[in-house]
Structure 1
């Protein structure tokens, strides 16, 4: 147990160091010491976000978002996982700019990989209320990011402060969603994908823990349970009894099954513990356990629930800061999350 705690602590410190390295601003040079050829360090866009961004312009924003998310998730508990997933899909393409919400021919939202995304109506509902109270002030990107936080809380996950100030993007291209992970990648490609977002392998493993809630379509796993790699047999890395259960549930590709077979509506570490029992439903889930780079962290998270929840909050802040648009010359504040603003607003 001491070994586990020590490893967890070292990984946590390493991760915090990574955050500091990506967000720190270099100190100002001493007077007279600046080199004429020296270039000023680039400040990440996320450094311009602030938890107090709407303190004066829309003081009731977080209360509005929380009330709306609570009402929708109370009616449909499965929506919590969908909002978290919608947020990730947004940040995975062009950064967290609400481009996934744009609803036009050829947009990310119309892509095949986005066909199972849900939660758009909830975001529209929040936006409509926010526009009544704070017109032309709050971006759809900020609303989606905060909604993902509140959805996490409602299923037992951690709280974290959401820094605000994102702008909404004007571009959304269906083809660009091809890069979004869909459950069949290897660990190397996943690590590379996360690095492009400014995230580490620690974030990959921790954020995969969101699969402790939610569902996946049977279409996404049919090859794994019926015809793995064209063998006509199930994936040998899966528990045999689990495979038989999934076959009964997945007689139709349009059916859905829980990502966490043990506690599908509770935000906990059962997801990680399932992997040790060969109960990972997506190939990428099970690979996290078997890969030498990520497996040790899976074991640590399975044994230390508090470490998981605290680190999940850290990783969610990082993903929410990925490639954000800020400032006057970037993006816009959409009046309707489904469409870019008319040219004259």
Structure 2
């Protein structure tokens, strides 16, 4: 189904009218709490889920994320990618964390995912205070948010009460959008999650941080569509820069070469200059359904992008969750293993 073009004006109305904001403070901030009533959450998820049963949960996550990202700042983008892969397969159920033969984690498409050790460390610490009460899915949702906040990104209120899946299958990983899909394919995937064209463009902005393996873009640089040439949508000087950075497939390149460790709207500015690293990124500027949104986000202050990113993430982390009434869910004792150990 073809989606209607969303105008720049509509984007600004959506963002400015939304009470969700990139808050100045993180854990423990006592500012305006409008986010608690704005988003229509599943009635089995709650923003106060752990207030009584594990009141230190978010503090533990916050402390551990700061500890790990101080040593390795690249874990911020890694955690965001990890939750995208989790939610994009069977929903936000921590299935990506299960580590056994034939699991999502063992899929070739998942071999570059990182952040598992941090999640395990958080789980171990949480179990000391609140044994058997906090799901790995909730930990991943909280940790990815806090990691983005450490990179000057937004902070949003998470609803909790997710349960962990008992199963994980490598074959399901193909559901995650690849770096070679066109906009129509991406939109179809996002619609299947209950997300829309604005969410697609805004969540793609996560590529304002992180890196890509050079092997994923070599065809754009050396043999685009079998032409033995460069993708014409890449700025010529930027293509030269990428070739210098990507002499080997195993090397990495910043997805945003201008401000690679700051969560801002530079990604959209880069797209307007034809400096998108992945083909799926640059395609957003070529499609009439997404190009106006790219232009709007490039022209507006980074705060506008951050606010809308928070809104879209609140929607994403509620995709396909398992809750208290789902027999297929559990609270894992260890994030990499189901409690039964049977797969």
Structure 2 length-normalised TM: 0.88
Within 5 Å, which residues of 2 pair with 1:244-283? 244-283=240-279
Structure 1 residues not aligned, in runs of 5+: 17-22, 25-43
For 1:86 and 1:287, how far apart are their aligned partners in 2? Answer: 23
**SS across alignment from 1:48:** coil
Match of 1:9 among 12, 25, 32: 12
For 1:65 and 1:229, how far apart are their aligned partners in 2? Answer: 45
* Matched residue, 2:25: none
Across the two proteins, how many residue pairs are aligned to each other?
316
For 1:316 and 1:136, how far apart are their aligned partners in 2? Answer: 26
Structure 1 residues 280-314: Cα deviation after superposition (integer angstroms, max 9, x where no partner): 00001001111100000111111222221111000
Match of 1:310 among 288, 307, 311: 307
* Matched residue, 1:31: none
Q: Are residues 1:99 and 2:95 paired?
A: yes
* Matched residue, 1:335: 333
Structure 1 residues 162-188: Cα deviation after superposition (integer angstroms, max 9, x where no partner): 100000001111011012112110000
Structure 1 length-normalised TM: 0.88
Contact 2:208-2:264 at 8 Å conserved across structures: yes
> Where do 4+ consecutive residues of structure 1 move more than 6 Å?
13-16
Structure 1 residues 7-33: Cα deviation after superposition (integer angstroms, max 9, x where no partner): 4334448999xxxxxx76xxxxxxxxx
For 2:91 and 2:17, how far apart are their aligned partners in 1? Answer: 24
* Matched residue, 2:62: 66
* Matched residue, 2:317: 320
Structure 2 residues not aligned, in runs of 5+: 1-6, 20-38
Q: Are residues 1:114 and 2:114 paired?
A: no
Residue 329 of structure 1, CA deviation: 3.6
The structure whose RCO (Cα within 8 Å, separation 6+) is larger is 2
For 2:87 and 2:65, how far apart are their aligned partners in 1? Answer: 20
Q: Which has the larger radius of gyration?
A: 1
Residue 52 of structure 1, CA deviation: 0.5
Residue 200 of structure 1, CA deviation: 0.6
Residue 113 of structure 1, CA deviation: 1.0
Q: Are residues 1:230 and 2:226 paired?
A: yes
Contact 2:15-2:307 at 8 Å conserved across structures: no
For 2:43 and 2:325, how far apart are their aligned partners in 1? Answer: 15
* Matched residue, 2:203: 207
For 2:212 and 2:46, how far apart are their aligned partners in 1? Answer: 34
**SS across alignment from 1:113:** helix
